[in-house]
Structure 1
Amino acid sequence: MARRSHDYATPVRRILVALLVLVLLGVFLFWRIDSLRAERMRAAIVDRLVPSLEWVMAPVTAASRMAAGFQSYQRLYQQNQELRRELQKMSAWKEAAVQLEQENAKLLAQNNVRLDPALTSVSGVVTADSGTAFRQSVLVNRGARDGILDGWATMDGLGLVGRITGVGQTTSRVMLLTDPSSRLPVTIQPSGQRALLTGDNTALPYLDFMESPEDVRPGDRVVSSGDGGLFPPGLLVGQAVQASDRRMRVRLAADYGRLEFLRVLRSRPAEPLADEGALIPPPPPGFIGPPLPPRPLPSPLIGAEAGTGLQSAGLSPAPDADREPQSED
């Protein structure tokens, strides 16, 4: 009968686990002691052990750096792809813009179009926003010394912003299109409808007095009409949109949230025509209406028959007024 071997591993494992539990419990209690001496000992242990454990954290640090580098590389790759797509789109837009520019130059040359040299601009910086709950306006650092006049239009580089409503020596006040007292005659393209853009202290001024509202669609282009001679025609205002109140409004092309620089257009009024009679001659004076029918001339035969009839009736014809009277001897 074979002898049964003794198992020494199980008791040793139990003793080691018990010692480990006691050590951890002692460390926990030591770390929880609120004493100045214990605090100094804890600081000394940390200073001694923590620097020597950097080799343990080295793989973790390297792995985290590799993960961060891979994520950064992935973001760079995505941005590169997006930039490539945008570059392709911009190349297409550039080609289309060059073709349109060439076509525009050819059309201008064929039609002998002369652009208005008086429509120049002066740029200024928006110095302050003086808008209130009842007034929408800004101040620009251009004034009378720069030749600014009341009523001139202002743009932010893309769309119409407003008009000059007050001029000082060095500053001018610009009333925005969103101001409740702002009224601007506009043209809605491509239908050609005329309307009045009215501000109501909101970011979307509404269109009023439209000739045919059913011909206006959301997304139509809205430009200044030039009626009244205040603004030059053709200045971009924005796009037509339909608001929740079922009214046609305009999403302004100008970025009102970032008004930093403004262009003041030096517009001049149209030259009056002094001699209008040379263009449209007045009608000749006289009878107004259809011409009268021609009057028939009396026939000599009819005159002789009439004289014979008078003589037979015992009447004498009237003496001729052109006949000279006979003198009596």
Structure 2
Amino acid sequence: MARHRDEEDYLGPLRRIVIAILALALVATVILWRVDNPRVERLRSAFIDRYVPTFDWAMVPVTKFLDMVEGFQSYARLYDQNQELRRELQQMKAWKEAAVQLRQENDKLLAQNNVRLDPKLTSVSGVVLADSGSPFRQSVLLNIGSRDGIVDGWATMDGLGLVGRISGVGKTTSRVVLLTDSSSRIPVTLQPSGQRAIMSGDNSPFPPLDFLEHPDRIQAGDRVVSSGDGGVFPAGLLVGQVVERNGRLRVRLSADYERLEYLKVLRSHPAEQLKGVGALIPPPIGKIDSEQQALPPAPQAQNGQSNG
């Protein structure tokens, strides 16, 4: 215990002396470094030239550490920029999808406006509310009905071709039976041959053609239009093109059944029909007398011959 106490009594003053000397040396160094004197400036330059280059090896870890910190900060900035670019890309994809949908709707509406129809046919456009198609019945609902003047039996078209006919009208909605429905039967004309046929729906995308007089004159790609027979549809409405599938002539419909969004209902009125027989209009009386005078007298039969 006494020895330990003697060491502490010896080291305590020595430690204080060393600290005091270091403090004085540091203060002297600072004062010397701040003195503005040519001799001191030469001394500082000589010291820097002598000792500073030899400390490069000591600064390497510090330099590497500072480079790592700066690289990590750059990586953090790049990560934030990447996340921001990802969010902007998602927004751009959403805007692109919206733009594509608007473009498709615009193209369909423009196509409806560019369809060449009989000038006497007027139309009203409606939006498809729902697709009630099933394996046994194919139809859609429109957001227009009797309040819009829709009449049962009118033809409907999209921007490309004939879609179907109105079959059921409510006050604000109406049902359209598609040409592919099994209950659909429409008379058509094949061009350029001019043959007439019946296109029958069979719940398939390609309705068949029935009652053809000369099937050998029909070629794939011939246009199919409505004939107007029976007053079912107005004449000249584009239906599709002839195709051959499984050895039978069918029709590839021009209407885009995959995306039915807007339909145009054609206001077609039946042709005026004459009922009854009208009275004959006789010529003027003076003309009748002159014609009778101009006619020769009819020969009279002899009594013998008439009696015989």
Category of TM-score, reference length = shorter chain: 0.5 to 0.7
Of 153, 161, 164 in structure 2, the residue corresponding to residue 162 of structure 1 is: 164
Paired with 2:168 and 2:183, the residues of 1 have a C-alpha distance of: 14
Aligned residues: 182
CA distance in 1, matches of 2:204, 2:262: 22
Q: Spell out the pairing of 1:207-286 with structure 2 (5 A cutoff).
A: 207-243=209-245, 245-274=246-275
- Cα distance change, pair 53–150 in 1 and its aligned pair in 2 (3 A): closer
Secondary structure of the corresponding residue to residue 255 of structure 2: coil
Contact 1:226-1:232 at 8 Å conserved across structures:
yes
Asked if structure 2 preserves the Cα contact closer than 8 Å seen for 1:230 and 1:269, the reply is no
- CA 1:50–1:249 in structure 2 vs 1: closer, same or farther (change >3 Å)? farther
Q: Partners of 2:185 and 2:65 in 1: how far apart?
A: 76
CA deviation profile, 1:289-318 (whole Å, cap 9, x unmatched):
xxxxxxxx99xxxxxxxxxxxxxxxxxxxx
Mapped to 2, the partners of 1:261 and 1:194 lie a distance apart of 30
1:222/1:239 contact within 8 Å kept: yes
Structure 1 residue 163, shift from structure 2 partner: 0.3
- What stretches of structure 1 of length at least 5 have no aligned partner? 1-44, 56-60, 62-103, 105-114, 280-296, 299-319, 322-329
Distance of 2:226 and 2:154 partners within structure 1: 13
Sort the Cα spacing of 1:47 and 1:246 in 2 relative to 1 into closer, same or farther, 3 A: farther
**1-side partners of 2:162 and 2:242: how far apart?**
14
State the Cα deviation string for residues 134-166 of structure 1 (Å, max 9, x = none): 110000001011111111000002200000011
Partner in structure 2 of residue 58 of structure 1: none
Q: Which amino acid aligns with 1:219?
A: G
Query: TM-score, normalising length from structure 1?
Result: 0.50
Alignment-derived partner of residue 135 in structure 1: 137
Q: Answer yes or no: is the 8 Å Cα contact 1:207–1:250 preserved in 2.
A: yes
Separation in 1, partners of 2:146, 2:67: 77
Shift of 1:275: 6.2
Which of 61, 67, 70 is residue 51 of structure 1 equivalent to?
70
1:150 and 2:169 matched: no
**2:45 matched residue in structure 1:** none
Check if 1:187 corresponds to 2:206: no
Aligned partner letter, 1:220: D
Structure 2: give runs of 5+ residues left out of the alignment.
Answer: 1-63, 79-115, 281-300
Within 5 Å, give how 1:20-99 maps onto structure 2.
49=68, 51-52=70-71
What is the CA RMSD across the aligned residues, in angstroms?
3.2
Shift in Å, 1:273: 2.2
Indicate conservation of the 8 Å contact 1:185/1:224, yes or no: yes
TM-score, structure 2 as length reference: 0.54
Displacement of 1:52: 3.8
TM superposition shift of 1:276: 5.8
| Residue equivalent to 2:96 | none
Question: Could you say which residue in structure 2 is the equivalent of 1:196?
Answer: 198
CA, structure 1 residues 162+47, in 2 after alignment: closer, same or farther (shift >3 Å)?
Answer: farther
3-state SS in 2 of match to 1:257: helix
Give, as a single letter, the amino acid of the residue that structure 1 aligns with 2:224: V
Q: 1:53 to 1:147 in 2, by over 3 A?
A: closer
SS in 2 for 1:158: coil
Q: Which amino acid aligns with 2:193?
A: S
For 2:181 and 2:248, locate their aligned partners in 1 and report how far apart those are by CA, in whole Å: 18
Amino acid at match of 1:258: R
CA distance 1:170–1:51, change in 2 (3 Å): same
Distance 2:166 2:126 in 1: 12
- Please list every run of at least 4 consecutive aligned residues from structure 1 whose deviation after the TM superposition is greater than 4 angstroms: 45-48, 275-279
